[in-house]
Amino acid sequence: MQLVRQNCPVPHLRLIDEYEATGELKSQYDAATGRAGKVFNIVKSMSLNPRVLGASMELYKAIMFAPSELSRVERELLAVVVSCANDCHY
């Protein structure tokens, strides 16, 4: 069964842009730019708490890059499948 989401309210998050970032957040944004060439909104969604952003990035790197029985391609494929199942565009 597929859920149909229509007219659902979307919460508004304050996102700190790259030019506003200072300190630990600026370091996180610089690292994100180094990894991906830009700072994606999923990263900015944690911008109000740079410690949480850092922990999230460490978890992501452990899941996607640490030694595993799954190849990097298989891990990316799983991420895409889960995102599609959740109707998430990231």
Q: Is residue 4 one of the residues assigned to a domain?
A: no
Domain membership of residue 36 as a residue range:
18-85
Q: Is residue 1 one of the residues assigned to a domain?
A: no
Who contacts 44 (Cβ-Cβ below 8 Å, separation ≥6)?
Answer: 15, 16, 17
Residue 4 has pLDDT above 70, yes or no: no
Give the pLDDT confidence of 28-67 residue by residue, as tens digits.
Answer: 999 999 989 999 999 999 999 999 999 999 999 999 999 9
The total number of structural domains that make up the chain: 1
Q: In sequence order, what DSSP letters do the residues of 38-60 get, joined into one string?
A: S--HHHHTTTT-HHHHHHHHHHH
Q: Is residue 13 one of the residues assigned to a domain?
A: no
Q: Is residue 11 one of the residues assigned to a domain?
A: no
